[in-house]
Amino acid sequence: MSAQADILAARVVEEARRWIGTPYLHQASLCGVGCDCLGLVRGIWRSVYGEEPEAVPHYSADWAEASGIEHLLMAGHRHFLPVDAGDMAAGDVVLFRWRAHWPAKHLGVVSGEGSMIHAHAGAVVAEVHFGIWARRIAQVFRFPPPAERG
């Protein structure tokens, strides 16, 4: 990665770590108050770029299973840069599938070698090892340089 990309990645990880301890709250995106996995990524985006790239519609907890549509994957391709899982680095956004045949519906931010920061139901935002998450990776995305964001 370039020096500019390294600076951006460090900023993303620093911001993600600021959210550690934020309670899980479905569809929220307020550091220290509440967020879900998408809300965490939305908050990081706002910190880096100043505004979100698009409005997020209301979504239920079972939205992916109910619709079968790859909403998060499509949004990732609209706003982030796809990265091969083998090239995953700190600052990247990782999208996960619960099951191979289901749409991807969970996000985390790579914080270092083998670790990520994420929000999940029943817990607070935490930095964890990938562990079993590694086999559920659907796609990896990188935050675009500010001049290239879409």
Residues 6 or more apart whose CB falls under 8 angstroms from that of 32 comprise 19, 21, 22
Compute the CA torsion angle 126, 92, 13, 21 (nearest 10 deg).
Answer: -20
Q: What is the pLDDT along the chain (150 residues), one digit of tens a residue?
A: 688 889 999 999 999 999 999 999 999 999 999 999 999 999 999 999 999 998 887 776 665 556 678 889 999 999 999 999 999 999 999 999 988 888 898 999 999 989 999 999 999 999 999 988 899 999 999 999 987 655
Q: Is the pTM of this model over 0.75?
A: yes
Q: Cβ distance 61 to 48 under 8 Å?
A: no
Task: Copy the structure tokens of residue 106.
Answer: 């969970």
Alpha-carbon distance of 109 to 100, in angstroms, equals 21
Where exactly are the structural domains of the chain? 3-52+71-148
Task: Copy the structure tokens of residue 53.
Answer: 């790239």
The CATH classification number of 3-52+71-148 equals 3.90.1720.10
**pLDDT at position 30, please?**
97
How far CA 36 is from CA of 87, 92, 105, 106, 113, in Å, comes to: 26, 17, 11, 9, 23
Alpha-carbon distance of 80 to 150, in angstroms, equals 8
Alpha-carbon distance of 135 to 36, in angstroms, equals 21
